[in-house]
Homo-oligomer: A and B are copies of this chain.
Amino acid sequence: MSGQSNFSIRCQNCSFNHLCIPVALNQTEMESLDDIIERKRPLHKNDQLTIPGQSFTSLFAIRSGSFKSYITSSDGEQQITGFHFPGDIVGFDGLHSQQYQSFTQAMETSMICELPYEKLDEMSSHLPALRKEMLKIMSTEINQDHSMMMILNKRTAEERLGHFLVNLSDRFSQRGFSSTEFNLTMTRNEIGNHLGLTVETVSRLLTRFQKENIISVDGKLIVITDEAALKGKIGQQLDDVSCSEKLGQRA
Protein backbone atom coordinates (compact mmCIF):
# COMPACT_ATOMS: atom_id res chain seq x y z
CA MET A 1 0.00 0.00 0.00
CA SER A 2 1.51 3.27 -0.97
CA GLY A 3 -1.19 5.61 0.25
CA GLN A 4 -4.14 7.25 -1.38
CA SER A 5 -3.71 7.29 -5.11
CA ASN A 6 -4.93 10.90 -5.41
CA PHE A 7 -1.98 12.32 -3.60
CA SER A 8 0.70 9.83 -4.64
CA ILE A 9 3.97 11.35 -5.59
CA ARG A 10 6.79 8.92 -5.05
CA CYS A 11 9.93 9.77 -3.13
CA GLN A 12 11.81 8.88 -6.31
CA ASN A 13 10.26 11.83 -8.13
CA CYS A 14 9.94 14.24 -5.23
CA SER A 15 11.78 17.46 -5.92
CA PHE A 16 12.79 17.74 -2.29
CA ASN A 17 14.23 14.24 -1.84
CA HIS A 18 17.73 15.73 -1.68
CA LEU A 19 16.76 17.48 1.58
CA CYS A 20 14.61 14.72 3.03
CA ILE A 21 15.28 11.25 4.40
CA PRO A 22 15.86 9.73 0.93
CA VAL A 23 19.11 11.65 0.57
CA ALA A 24 20.88 8.90 2.50
CA LEU A 25 19.24 5.96 0.75
CA ASN A 26 19.97 4.04 -2.43
CA GLN A 27 17.30 3.25 -5.03
CA THR A 28 16.12 0.01 -3.37
CA GLU A 29 16.06 1.54 0.08
CA MET A 30 14.13 4.54 -1.17
CA GLU A 31 11.54 2.24 -2.65
CA SER A 32 11.10 0.49 0.71
CA LEU A 33 10.68 3.85 2.40
CA ASP A 34 8.24 4.94 -0.26
CA ASP A 35 6.14 1.86 0.46
CA ILE A 36 5.47 2.76 4.08
CA ILE A 37 4.70 6.43 3.45
CA GLU A 38 1.11 7.55 3.59
CA ARG A 39 0.16 10.59 1.56
CA LYS A 40 -2.59 12.52 3.22
CA ARG A 41 -5.05 15.03 1.87
CA PRO A 42 -3.90 18.64 2.05
CA LEU A 43 -4.01 20.62 5.26
CA HIS A 44 -5.44 24.09 5.13
CA LYS A 45 -4.24 27.28 6.73
CA ASN A 46 -4.31 27.05 10.54
CA ASP A 47 -4.94 23.28 10.58
CA GLN A 48 -2.97 21.54 13.32
CA LEU A 49 -0.78 18.66 12.25
CA THR A 50 0.23 17.84 15.83
CA ILE A 51 -0.96 19.00 19.23
CA PRO A 52 0.75 18.51 22.61
CA GLY A 53 -0.47 15.39 24.34
CA GLN A 54 -1.67 13.77 21.16
CA SER A 55 -0.30 10.27 20.96
CA PHE A 56 2.86 9.99 18.89
CA THR A 57 2.47 7.71 15.91
CA SER A 58 4.38 9.24 13.04
CA LEU A 59 6.93 11.64 11.77
CA PHE A 60 5.84 13.97 8.98
CA ALA A 61 7.73 15.14 5.92
CA ILE A 62 6.54 18.41 4.46
CA ARG A 63 5.81 18.10 0.77
CA SER A 64 4.50 21.59 0.06
CA GLY A 65 3.47 24.71 1.95
CA SER A 66 4.82 25.76 5.33
CA PHE A 67 4.29 25.16 9.02
CA LYS A 68 5.15 26.74 12.33
CA SER A 69 5.87 24.75 15.49
CA TYR A 70 5.20 26.24 18.89
CA ILE A 71 4.88 25.35 22.54
CA THR A 72 2.68 27.07 25.09
CA SER A 73 2.91 27.83 28.79
CA SER A 74 0.11 27.63 31.29
CA ASP A 75 -0.54 31.38 31.10
CA GLY A 76 -1.22 31.02 27.39
CA GLU A 77 2.04 32.44 26.16
CA GLN A 78 3.31 30.83 23.07
CA GLN A 79 6.81 30.32 21.76
CA ILE A 80 7.39 29.55 18.13
CA THR A 81 10.26 27.05 18.06
CA GLY A 82 10.62 26.83 14.30
CA PHE A 83 9.27 27.33 10.81
CA HIS A 84 9.19 24.39 8.42
CA PHE A 85 9.33 24.11 4.65
CA PRO A 86 9.22 21.32 2.05
CA GLY A 87 11.70 18.53 2.77
CA ASP A 88 11.75 19.24 6.50
CA ILE A 89 10.78 16.43 8.87
CA VAL A 90 8.71 17.29 11.94
CA GLY A 91 7.48 15.33 14.95
CA PHE A 92 10.70 14.36 16.71
CA ASP A 93 9.52 16.12 19.86
CA GLY A 94 7.03 13.27 20.33
CA LEU A 95 9.60 10.48 20.69
CA HIS A 96 10.20 11.38 24.29
CA SER A 97 7.05 10.28 26.16
CA GLN A 98 5.27 9.02 23.03
CA GLN A 99 3.19 12.18 22.89
CA TYR A 100 3.80 15.20 20.71
CA GLN A 101 4.99 18.14 22.78
CA SER A 102 4.39 20.91 20.27
CA PHE A 103 1.71 22.34 18.08
CA THR A 104 2.58 22.09 14.39
CA GLN A 105 0.29 24.33 12.42
CA ALA A 106 -0.04 24.92 8.68
CA MET A 107 0.64 28.56 7.75
CA GLU A 108 -0.93 28.01 4.30
CA THR A 109 -2.42 25.12 2.35
CA SER A 110 0.18 22.37 2.64
CA MET A 111 0.79 18.73 1.80
CA ILE A 112 2.57 16.20 3.96
CA CYS A 113 3.90 12.66 3.84
CA GLU A 114 3.19 10.64 6.95
CA LEU A 115 5.94 8.27 8.09
CA PRO A 116 4.47 5.77 10.57
CA TYR A 117 7.07 5.50 13.30
CA GLU A 118 6.77 1.79 14.09
CA LYS A 119 7.28 0.87 10.45
CA LEU A 120 10.14 3.31 10.17
CA ASP A 121 11.76 1.84 13.25
CA GLU A 122 11.39 -1.70 12.02
CA MET A 123 12.81 -0.77 8.63
CA SER A 124 15.72 0.96 10.30
CA SER A 125 16.79 -2.28 11.98
CA HIS A 126 17.96 -3.65 8.65
CA LEU A 127 18.76 -0.35 6.92
CA PRO A 128 21.75 1.22 8.67
CA ALA A 129 21.59 4.23 6.37
CA LEU A 130 18.05 4.98 7.48
CA ARG A 131 18.94 4.49 11.12
CA LYS A 132 21.82 6.92 10.85
CA GLU A 133 19.88 9.43 8.81
CA MET A 134 17.22 9.73 11.49
CA LEU A 135 19.79 10.38 14.17
CA LYS A 136 21.50 12.83 11.87
CA ILE A 137 18.34 14.83 11.30
CA MET A 138 17.72 15.05 15.03
CA SER A 139 21.32 16.05 15.62
CA THR A 140 20.93 18.85 13.07
CA GLU A 141 17.87 20.05 14.93
CA ILE A 142 19.79 20.07 18.22
CA ASN A 143 22.59 22.07 16.66
CA GLN A 144 20.15 24.57 15.19
CA ASP A 145 18.51 25.01 18.57
CA HIS A 146 21.90 25.63 20.19
CA SER A 147 22.70 28.20 17.56
CA MET A 148 19.33 29.80 18.29
CA MET A 149 20.30 30.11 21.97
CA MET A 150 23.34 32.12 21.01
CA ILE A 151 21.28 34.32 18.73
CA LEU A 152 18.73 35.01 21.45
CA ASN A 153 21.29 35.59 24.18
CA LYS A 154 24.00 37.53 22.43
CA ARG A 155 22.57 39.30 19.40
CA THR A 156 20.80 42.62 19.02
CA ALA A 157 17.37 42.94 17.43
CA GLU A 158 18.96 43.98 14.14
CA GLU A 159 21.30 41.00 14.10
CA ARG A 160 18.50 38.59 14.93
CA LEU A 161 16.31 39.77 12.10
CA GLY A 162 19.26 39.80 9.72
CA HIS A 163 20.05 36.25 10.69
CA PHE A 164 16.44 35.24 10.19
CA LEU A 165 16.30 36.66 6.67
CA VAL A 166 19.60 35.10 5.63
CA ASN A 167 18.46 31.77 7.05
CA LEU A 168 15.21 31.91 5.06
CA SER A 169 17.10 32.91 1.96
CA ASP A 170 19.46 29.94 2.32
CA ARG A 171 16.64 27.51 2.91
CA PHE A 172 14.65 28.73 -0.08
CA SER A 173 17.73 28.50 -2.22
CA GLN A 174 18.35 24.87 -1.15
CA ARG A 175 14.80 24.13 -2.24
CA GLY A 176 15.30 25.56 -5.69
CA PHE A 177 13.45 28.82 -4.99
CA SER A 178 14.90 32.28 -5.34
CA SER A 179 17.29 33.24 -2.57
CA THR A 180 16.74 36.94 -3.13
CA GLU A 181 12.99 37.23 -3.60
CA PHE A 182 10.42 35.43 -1.51
CA ASN A 183 7.14 35.75 0.32
CA LEU A 184 7.02 35.54 4.07
CA THR A 185 4.29 33.10 4.99
CA MET A 186 4.46 34.23 8.59
CA THR A 187 3.27 37.50 10.11
CA ARG A 188 5.55 40.14 11.64
CA ASN A 189 4.20 39.04 14.97
CA GLU A 190 5.26 35.43 14.38
CA ILE A 191 8.73 36.51 13.31
CA GLY A 192 9.01 38.57 16.47
CA ASN A 193 7.75 35.77 18.64
CA HIS A 194 10.34 33.37 17.26
CA LEU A 195 13.19 35.88 17.60
CA GLY A 196 12.24 37.22 21.03
CA LEU A 197 11.19 40.64 19.69
CA THR A 198 7.92 42.55 19.52
CA VAL A 199 5.94 43.17 16.32
CA GLU A 200 6.80 46.85 16.51
CA THR A 201 10.52 46.14 16.60
CA VAL A 202 10.32 43.77 13.63
CA SER A 203 8.34 46.31 11.64
CA ARG A 204 10.73 49.14 12.46
CA LEU A 205 13.73 47.02 11.49
CA LEU A 206 12.25 45.98 8.16
CA THR A 207 11.62 49.64 7.46
CA ARG A 208 15.16 50.50 8.50
CA PHE A 209 16.70 47.78 6.29
CA GLN A 210 14.65 49.12 3.41
CA LYS A 211 15.80 52.69 4.02
CA GLU A 212 19.36 51.42 4.02
CA ASN A 213 18.70 49.80 0.61
CA ILE A 214 19.48 46.34 1.90
CA ILE A 215 16.07 44.88 1.19
CA SER A 216 12.85 45.98 -0.36
CA VAL A 217 9.64 45.21 1.47
CA ASP A 218 6.18 45.11 -0.02
CA GLY A 219 3.82 43.55 2.45
CA LYS A 220 4.79 39.87 2.61
CA LEU A 221 7.18 40.11 -0.31
CA ILE A 222 10.85 40.55 0.54
CA VAL A 223 13.51 41.28 -2.06
CA ILE A 224 17.09 41.17 -0.89
CA THR A 225 18.83 43.87 -2.87
CA ASP A 226 22.18 43.92 -1.09
CA GLU A 227 23.03 40.46 0.16
CA ALA A 228 26.48 41.44 1.36
CA ALA A 229 25.10 44.28 3.47
CA LEU A 230 22.46 41.96 4.92
CA LYS A 231 25.12 39.47 5.91
CA GLY A 232 27.02 42.36 7.44
CA LYS A 233 24.04 42.90 9.73
CA ILE A 234 24.02 39.48 11.27
CA GLY A 235 27.03 39.78 13.55
CA GLN A 236 29.63 37.10 13.91
CA GLN A 237 28.68 33.67 12.73
CA LEU A 238 29.19 30.45 14.57
CA ASP A 239 32.77 29.38 14.54
CA ASP A 240 33.66 27.29 11.59
CA VAL A 241 34.77 23.95 12.93
CA SER A 242 37.94 24.22 10.88
CA CYS A 243 39.37 26.30 13.71
CA SER A 244 39.40 23.21 15.86
CA GLU A 245 42.91 22.18 14.98
CA LYS A 246 44.53 25.12 16.67
CA LEU A 247 42.19 24.80 19.62
CA GLY A 248 42.74 21.05 19.70
CA GLN A 249 46.31 21.61 20.79
CA ARG A 250 45.31 22.50 24.32
CA ALA A 251 42.92 19.58 24.78
Contacts and interface: CB of A to CB of B under 8 A. Distances in A.
A245 interface: yes
Given A71-B238, A139-B138, A77 B150 contact: yes
A241 interface: yes
Interface string A26-65: 0000000000000000000001100111100000000000
Nearest to A82: B146
Contact of A237 (B74, B81, B152, B241): B74
Contact of A135 (B79, B134, B235, B248): B134
Contacts of A93: 139, 142-143, 146
A66 interface: no
A149 B193 CA distance: 10
B150 A142 contact: no
Contacts of A136: 95-96
A212 interface: no
Contacts of A95: 132, 135-136, 138-139
Contacts of A75: 235-236
Contacts of A134: 135
A124 interface: yes
Contacts of A245: 53
A54 B235 CA distance: 25
A105 to B, nearest CB: 10
A127 to B, nearest CB: 9
A121 interface: yes
A52 B125 contact: no
Contacts of A147: 71
Contact of A243 (B52, B121, B152, B236): B52
B96 A140 contact: yes
A101 interface: yes
A141 interface: yes
A53 B149 contact: no
Interface in A222-251: 235-245, 247-248, 250-251
A241 to B, nearest CB: 3
Contacts of A242: 53
Given A52-B247, A53-B243, A153-B196, 18 more contacts: A48-B250, A48-B251, A53-B241, A53-B247, A54-B251, A72-B239, A74-B237, A79-B146, A95-B136, A99-B241, A101-B146, A121-B132, A124-B131, A125-B126, A125-B131, A134-B135, A152-B196, A154-B196
